[in-house]
Amino acid sequence: MSPVAINGVDKQGVYVNGVQVKQALNAASETVNKGVYDPTTLSTVDPDLAAANIKETITIFGKLGTFEGDVPTVIVGLVENNTEVMAGDFALSKEKEIKLNTVLKGNVRIKFTMENGTGNSTVYGRIYRNDETLGTLQSRSSQGTTTYEEDFTSVDWAVNDLIQLYGKGAADAACRLSDFHIQYCFSYTNQDP
């Protein structure tokens, strides 16, 4: 036995008092220290290394991904126009408007709250862009409040675009619109090895 093998390092690893010290992998670190390890699997070290957590068709350390779900999004910006307005009762008319001062690409989520004050008739709300129909016609026929949201993923938003909320009430049903929000999101995929 060489003197290094008692305390120190040789070709076989680290020794303390003549006993070989085994290294351990750590899921919180990407560093793999030089040394000897007990046999294990990477998914034992980090249970998140599972096929269900890897995008389909991607293989990481021999695990073929099966994840088909939505890619997480992060809200980057939030624009709000929260004051309540009462929509007219003849036709859909512009009630709220936000002007963009920047280009937006990616996912834009637009939300608004609509209240039917009496429930005697149906009230309506719809998202427009530059006075042209963009969103789905939303309706509420019973008394109460609902928050609606729509994602727009294939729209290239330009500087000076107007994002608008149109509404329509009825002579016997007040349509109150409020909490007009624009959320700018982008998608990401975690590429950690």
Residue 192 forms part of a structural domain:
no
Query: Residues 133, 57: contact at Cβ < 8 Å?
Result: no
CATH at residue 85? 2.60.120.260
Query: Cα separation of 135 and 158, whole Å?
Result: 17
Does the predicted TM-score (pTM) go above 0.75?
Answer: no
Contacts (Cβ under 8 Å, ≥6 apart) of 2: 10
3-state class of 43 per DSSP?
helix
- Domain end call among 64, 96, 111: 64
Q: 99 and 145 share a domain?
A: yes
Residues with Cβ within 8 Å of residue 183, at least 6 apart in sequence: 75, 77, 78, 108, 109, 110, 111
Number of domains composing the chain: 2
pLDDT at position 150 is 94
Q: Choose among 90, 96, 110, 193: nearest CA to 157.
A: 110
Of these ranges, 37-46, 49-58, 127-136, 166-175, the one predicted with the greatest mean pLDDT is 127-136
- Lowest-pLDDT range of 75-79, 92-96, 126-130: 75-79
Q: Which structure tokens are listed for 100? A: 């963009």
Same domain, 85 and 59: no
Give CB contacts under 8 A, 24+ apart, made by 56-62: 60/193
Do 135 and 50 belong to one domain? Answer: no
Report the C-alpha gap between 41 and 61 in whole angstroms: 10
Q: Quick check: 1 pLDDT over 50?
A: no
Q: Is position 41 within any domain?
A: yes
Q: How far apart, in whole angstroms, are the C-alpha atoms of residue 87 and residue 126?
A: 12
Question: Averaging pLDDT over each range in 23-27, 136-140, 187-191, which range is the top one?
Answer: 136-140
| pLDDT reading at 77 higher than 60 | no
Can you give the residue range of the structural domain that contains 132? Answer: 73-187
- Judge if 110 and 89 occupy the same domain: yes
What's residue 70's pLDDT? Answer: 57
With a pLDDT cut of 70, the percent of the chain lying above it is 83
Q: What is the pLDDT of residue 185?
A: 64
Find where tokens 């992060």 sit: 74
Which neighbouring-strand residues pair with 160? none
Per-residue pLDDT tens digits for 125-155: 999 999 999 999 999 999 999 999 999 888 8
Any domain includes 78: yes
Residue 155 inside a domain? The answer is yes
Stretch 32-45: mean pLDDT: 75
| pLDDT for position 93 | 93
Which one is predicted more confidently, 159 or 23?
159
Q: Return all residues near 144 (Cβ < 8 A) that are at least 6 apart.
A: 115, 116, 119
